[in-house]
Amino acid sequence: MRNPKAGLLVSLLAIALLLGGCGGRPAPGQPVSLTDVYRQMEEQVGLPLMLEVTPELALDFYGIDTARCAQWVLRLAQDSLTADEVLLIEARDAAAAEEIHGYLQGRMEAKAAEAITYSPEQYAIIRRGHLLRDGLYLALIVSPDAEALLKVYRGQVPG
């Protein structure tokens, strides 16, 4: 005769194994909330006080028309002497992604050129920053903790 406790234990173990595989990086094509990704970056790594970049400022400051984005999270350090910046974007299509990637490359170059003259420390942080493009998803991550932020990003955004 079979032991009912053993059957229950096996069932619970199977459920735990199934649920354990539910986390992690979503499959390509699965929707990702960039707001949730940013929130996880704040919670898991921490960021300084950041300012939200409005769609108007995105166009003026970066050249990015947010109408060409499916979603976006654009944040700058409140302290203008700090290089921290996190831009997470999902473009509407490949052409928009290519265009936005070019704007983000220009942003990284401009940040580095500006910082090299006034702050070698911030320049080093910028040089260790990341500019990524995975299909329609783009990210610009500049922070002393860029590697940890990148790990959170890669864990959430398919690529």
Long-range contacts, stretch 19-25, CB < 8 angstroms, 24+ apart: 24/155, 25/154, 25/155, 25/156, 25/157, 25/158
Cβ–Cβ under 8 Å, residues 153 and 88: yes
Q: What is the pLDDT of residues 49-96, one digit of tens each?
A: 999 999 999 999 899 999 999 999 999 999 988 999 999 999 999 999
pLDDT at position 154, please?
94
pLDDT at position 139, please?
97
* The token pair that represents 30 in the structure block: 């699965």
Of the pLDDT bands very low, low, confident and very high (cuts 50, 70, 90), residue 30 is confident
Choice among 26-30, 64-68, 96-100 with the minimum mean pLDDT: 26-30
The overall average pLDDT reported for the chain is 85
Spatial separation of the C-alpha atoms in residues 107 and 84, rounded to whole Å: 13
pLDDT at position 153, please?
95
Of the pLDDT bands very low, low, confident and very high (cuts 50, 70, 90), residue 39 is very high
pLDDT at position 158, please?
78
pLDDT at position 31, please?
81
